[in-house]
Structure 1
Amino acid sequence: MEREVMEFDVVIVGAGPAGLSAAIRLKQLAAENDHEVSVCVIEKGSEVGAHILAGACFEPRALNELIPDWKEKGAPLNQPADEDRFLLLTESNHIRLPTPPQMNNHGNYVISLGNLARWLAEQAEALEVEVYPGFAAAEVLYDEQGRVKGVATGDLGIGRDGEQKSGYTPGVELHAKYTLFAEGARGSLTRMLTDKFGLRDNCDPQTYGIGIKELWEIDPAKHKPGLVIHTIGWPLDTKTYSGSFLYHMENNQVAVGLVIGLDYQNPHISPFDEFQRLKQHPALRDYFEGAKRIAYGARALTEGGFQSVPQLAFPGGVLIGCTAGFMNVPKVKGSHTAMKTGMLAAEAAFEALKDGRANDVLDAYPALYEQSWVHQELKKVRNIRPSFNRGLLAGLAYSALDTYLFRGNAPWTFHHHEDHKSLKPASACKKIVYPKPDGKISFDKLSSVFLSNTNHEEDQPIHLRLKDPSVPVTVNLPTYDAPEQRYCPAGVYEIVQEDAGPRLQINAQNCVHCKTCDIKDPTQNIVWTVPEGAGGPNYPNM
């Protein structure tokens, strides 16, 4: 069976804030200039927003530019951020610190980013953007000159054995003059493009964190709408970059989460279990007493910032949003910068299409980025995240110096390293004994994955692929005590003892698409690929 081919002016991979902002901006420009542009957005989640997970304390700067009348149009920004607290946690106590200026949330909103994405999709469709959820882009397509000409979605109805089942349907080819990749952190197609075009040849490696989040419905007497709490310190050691958040949303709900830098050194660390410990801290525990946990999820996020932004444009396409890495780590925000870069790429693409220059590389996009407030914002905070590589206290001290004395204009730039190279041998690190979950405030992985509504067709090829199937047992287990069992927040990887010896079992049906394994595996032996479209988590209100 041959693939169906669909033709568009612009195809956008990923219906997150960046991709949808790009689509909306393209259609706005088309209307303003009376020049028709066909735009298609494909999304691997079962619906728009199904795979979106963020804090989120949202800065509306880009939204104000994109849709100035968003309030009248019913954007789901209902809870203003009213109060900031910044805490340094010790094991049994806390110290309230002055809130850094970057973390001042006056004018921001505590929101569900997934719900904002759903609303943005409605705005895009009203402008005649074609939005197709449930279609996972599995392959980049190239023309005879090596230029990107679009993407293909994955085949449906392939069995675990690789053979076609009775319901087999081939993927669809989506051809475009320009393809915008908005896959989020560690995009699988972005990784292929990076290798083909050398997009990281002239920048720092990207560095990542894993963010684990839960949504709770708490006692109305304890709920303080608009309260924004950030913490640093415990439960992680002072060598490990981490921070937590607790945001009071509307409807007596709070979002609680922990972010841990994936450059951590101790292979015994379990980010999931550290998060469960966090909730037991005296400064936070009271919020969860008698409350109900209603959602769980995890996602990797980019932390490299300014010095890790790759080459953004290449023949036939561009990278936008978090797949390129525009997160402002000190702000704990990346949605506003993702949206703006999508808008900038749309402006560059529209001008090329309008002027009949559809074969040109969109060099105007990186030029627009360098002139934008995104570039200025990221440059000013470029040294803060890497300053914590020397430890918590050194990072706090330098960050204060950089913020208040140099005001982001220090005449030097610190650099990043690849996260997978940071693990030390298990024998050189302290083992960690985590407390058993109490089932009230702390929980196990399987009950948590259940709350993520994760589902995959079981009879399909495993989308978590090993370059060398022997490495988990011959390298990872003896050297690092099989860290994949702990860095995965969904219980996907499990060492099983058999008569023939230990074996790595991959429970791919549990995968919440966080991409941590693809990032943290010490030998880079695990490759995350897309499963069948619509597979994965289905996050409500996250």
Structure 2
Amino acid sequence: MVERETMEFDVVVVGAGPAGLSCAIRLAQQAQQQEKELMICVVEKGSEVGAHILSGAVFETKALDELLPDWKDKGAPVTTEVTTDEIYLFKDQANATSIPHIAVPKTFKNHGNYIVSMGNVCRWLAEQAEQLGVEIFPGFSAHSLIIEDDEVKGIVTGDMGVDKDGQPKDSYMPGMELRAKYTVFAEGCRGHLGKQLIKQFELDKDATPQHYGIGFKEIWQIDPSKHKEGTVVHGTGWPLEKDTHGGSFMYHAENNQVVVGLIIDLNYSNPYLSPFDEFQRMKHHPLFAQVLEGSERVSYGARAIAKGGFHSLPKMHFPGGLLVGCDAGTLNFAKIKGNHTAMKSGMLAADCIIEALADEQPKADLASFAEKFKASWLYEELYQSRNFGPAIHKLGRILGGAYNTLDQNIFSGALPFTFKDTHHDHAMLKPASECDKIDYPKPDGKLSFDKLSSVFLSNTNHEESQPCHLKLADASIPISVNLEKYAEPAQRYCPAGVYEINENDAGEKQFVINAQNCVHCKTCDIKDPSQNITWVTPEGAGGPNYPNM
């Protein structure tokens, strides 16, 4: 039995993203107002706060206005206000039609919003939290749960200095037990502890399956003559086929930089589809190419997005803690925004915990969160958009879009219909024998690139001599099932070249995992058709190091 150091806190927050940091700040603010001493700890698996944050992002300041009303005076990196909204239907690789604003849901309109780097926003939020006395531990992964008598008592951080066979190296340092009266899980989309909590406490028994997309993002330094600071471009259609949903974006940020990206729903059916290559192909459309040609790509990243919305929300409270932000799936896909909703969920969590800690005999299960959530603008916003994703899944891009425009613009989400998507994303793949292969053009090294050169730009690094953090329940399934039936889609849906099929000297197929390439997007955990892959946290500080994403 490993002897572990134990640290005691009032509240432990797992994840220094917008939800976790907003929760910590709100807790510290209220403790300060009540002249109480509160021990608050935030653990972050990235090498620094913001290192693993990847978001578009057009940012709505609604929650920030509540949390830190003087954010402008405090120097928040929220300065590039949206000046122009453009929305396009991409017909093919050469043509696009501008869609008038009257024909799109009002949730797509961005007047009053800002183009930001959420990584930098989180770095700034961390500074505000530390000034209030919050302790933040970057480089420490939350590896496992402490559950005693069916109640969460905290988390155990990951061991450091373990070799690939699980044996201690000379640098071995066991993880610590971080115990708390309450633990808030804000790991982001498909958090590996959140996934365990949902299963153990049956938090999703009344919800439809969560749905996901994979989002790609690149930052380009462009010619100043092509730069239109504050311009936001969204598009749908090509290069995605009719039964593959998603959308593209290009944001003109500050300093002559543009952000370009593509989101693809992970309920696609063709196992030959490569989301990464769809994104590379997209940039050759004239609307993007005319901006990017002759420019320099400076950053790349990919991340899964929880987009099931209202119907897919699990119960967010359980004995000893709360599940918030994208760990619970609070993103509003009708707006293509999840940062303000994540922040609000963290703030609601803080309000519940402060009230509970004030009781002489605090309850372990923060059931009051459900009441606070239902009385908040967060609930109202997600409820109004409840049918947005399911309508597109059921009715298709055109009819679903028309329904959503009518529902949002005329009825403000009050049409008396309920659409639900009850299918798991991984179950939507068809056998390879029923699908056409997709021949993607080779990257030209100017607008389109290969996976490995892209991963290089993400500054991804893992200590190679450590246990693989991509766990196979059955090592035979990738070859015996997935390759045979689905042409092993892991080698295509992974955006970082982690999975390969190689052949040994005897002509036998082998499934190879290049875990050091992993950008922590979680797509494999979501899309594997056999649900054979489980993503767990690697050694702390491993993974991407996004500087400005």
Question: If the TM-score is normalised by the length of the shorter chain, which range does it land in?
Answer: over 0.9
Is 1:406 the equivalent of 2:405? no
Residue correspondence of structure 1 range 486-505 to structure 2 within 5 A = 486-498=492-504, 499-505=506-512
For residue 99 of structure 2, what is the aligned residue in structure 1?
97
Q: Distance in 1 between matches of 2:301 and 2:426?
A: 22
Q: CA deviation at 1:400?
A: 2.0
Residue correspondence of structure 1 range 278-357 to structure 2 within 5 A = 278-357=282-361
Q: Distance in 1 between matches of 2:479 and 2:223?
A: 47
For residue 368 of structure 1, what is the aligned residue in structure 2?
372
Conservation of the 8 A alpha-carbon contact between 1:136 and 1:531: yes
**Equivalent position to 2:204, from 185, 188, 200:** 200
Q: Aligned partner of 1:356: which letter?
A: E
Q: Distance in 1 between matches of 2:280 and 2:156?
A: 40
Conservation of the 8 A alpha-carbon contact between 2:151 and 2:364: no
Q: CA deviation at 1:24?
A: 0.3
Aligned with 2:75: secondary structure?
A: coil
**Equivalent position to 2:186, from 182, 189, 201:** 182
> Which structure 1 residue ranges, 4+ long, deviate > 6 Å from structure 2?
none
The percentage of counterpart residues that share the same residue type is 58
Conservation of the 8 A alpha-carbon contact between 2:82 and 2:231: yes
For residue 140 of structure 1, what is the aligned residue in structure 2?
145
Conservation of the 8 A alpha-carbon contact between 1:140 and 1:148: yes
Which moves more between the two structures, 360-369 or 489-498?
A: 360-369
Q: CA deviation at 1:34?
A: 1.4
Q: Once the two structures are superposed, what CA deviation does each residue of 1:152-176 show, in whole Å capped at 9, x if it has no partner?
A: 0011111111111111110010000
Residue correspondence of structure 1 range 75-474 to structure 2 within 5 A = 75-91=76-92, 92-99=94-101, 100-143=105-148, 145-389=149-393, 390-416=395-421, 417-474=423-480
Q: Once the two structures are superposed, what CA deviation does each residue of 1:416-465 show, in whole Å capped at 9, x if it has no partner?
A: 22101000011111110000000011000000000000000000000001
Q: Distance in 2 between matches of 1:83 and 1:356?
A: 53
Q: CA deviation at 1:357?
A: 3.5
Q: Aligned partner of 2:469: which letter?
A: H
Q: CA deviation at 1:391?
A: 2.0
Conservation of the 8 A alpha-carbon contact between 1:240 and 1:391: no
Q: Distance in 1 between matches of 2:364 and 2:440?
A: 55
Conservation of the 8 A alpha-carbon contact between 2:65 and 2:71: yes
Conservation of the 8 A alpha-carbon contact between 1:177 and 1:358: no
Conservation of the 8 A alpha-carbon contact between 1:452 and 1:537: yes
Q: Once the two structures are superposed, what CA deviation does each residue of 1:357-402 show, in whole Å capped at 9, x if it has no partner?
A: 4343111112111111011001111111111113211222221232
Q: Aligned partner of 1:349: which letter?
A: I
Q: Distance in 1 between matches of 2:412 and 2:15?
A: 35
Q: Distance in 2 between matches of 1:248 and 1:406?
A: 32
Q: Aligned partner of 1:422: which letter?
A: M
Aligned with 1:283: secondary structure?
A: helix
Q: Distance in 2 between matches of 1:200 and 1:19?
A: 21
Q: Distance in 1 between matches of 2:412 and 2:533?
A: 41
Q: Aligned partner of 1:35: which letter?
A: K
Aligned with 2:55: secondary structure?
A: coil
TM-score between the two structures when normalised by the length of structure 2? 0.98
Q: Distance in 1 between matches of 2:386 and 2:361?
A: 35
Conservation of the 8 A alpha-carbon contact between 1:178 and 1:358: no
The unaligned stretches of length 5 or more in structure 2 are: none
Q: Once the two structures are superposed, what CA deviation does each residue of 1:73-95 show, in whole Å capped at 9, x if it has no partner?
A: 00001100110000000111001
Aligned with 2:459: secondary structure?
A: coil
For residue 65 of structure 1, what is the aligned residue in structure 2?
66
Q: CA deviation at 1:215?
A: 0.5
Q: CA deviation at 1:500?
A: 5.0
Aligned with 2:183: secondary structure?
A: strand
Q: How many residues of Structure 1 are paired with residues of Structure 2 in the alignment?
A: 541
Q: Distance in 2 between matches of 1:30 and 1:355?
A: 14
The unaligned stretches of length 5 or more in structure 1 are: none
Is 1:530 the equivalent of 2:537? yes
